[in-house]
Amino acid sequence: MTRTWLVVLGVAAGASLALPAAPAAAHNSLTGSDPQNGARLAAAPKRVELRFLATPKEATTKVTVTGPDNVAAGGAPTFSGKRVSVPFTPGAAGLYIVTYQLASDDGHPVKGEIRFTLTTGTPAEPPSASAAPSSAAPTTAPASTAAGS
């Protein structure tokens, strides 16, 4: 009798492990990213990739990447199974925030963000040295000509 109960319990336990939990399957969630949340990078990635538990739908998925001073640093997302990639355009060194929003199969919205820091970036464009004198020279020349007349 004990042996029969052990077999019944073993079969029941095995069957319950084989069946997925329905509520967990209905809600999508982020399972990973590249770069990882909190990463500090010396070299800029070519893209940002988000990995999800379930396949996100293009129509209901939005991903944005913003850098220092709230400057956009991403492009249109591309979808491949459970992965969403966004091209990354590096700017100044600093904190970059990747936000995502999508709908789960049950209709519930899923929102979140990952953050990473770019430790080196493209320097801000300095004013052109040749532009300043050339714009000042024509202003000065007519003024001195006018004064000499």
pLDDT for res 141 = 43
pLDDT for res 87 = 97
Coil, strand or helix at 127:
coil
Which CATH entry fits the domain spanning 25-123: 3.40.50.300, 2.60.40.1220, 3.50.50.60, 3.20.20.70?
Answer: 2.60.40.1220
Question: Which alpha helices (DSSP H) does the chain contain, by range?
Answer: 2-18, 22-26, 131-148
Q: What does residue 138 show for φ and ψ, rounded to 5 degrees?
A: -65, -30
The domain segmentation of the chain, as residue ranges, is 25-123
Q: Pick from 108, 29, 110, 33: which is nearest to 74 by CA?
A: 33
Q: What does residue 127 show for φ and ψ, rounded to 5 degrees?
A: -60, 140
Instruction: Provide the residue-wise pLDDT of the chain in tens; the chain has 149 residues.
Output: 655 554 444 555 555 555 554 444 568 999 999 999 999 999 999 999 999 999 999 999 999 999 998 999 999 999 999 999 999 999 999 999 999 999 988 888 999 999 999 998 775 544 444 444 444 444 444 444 444 44
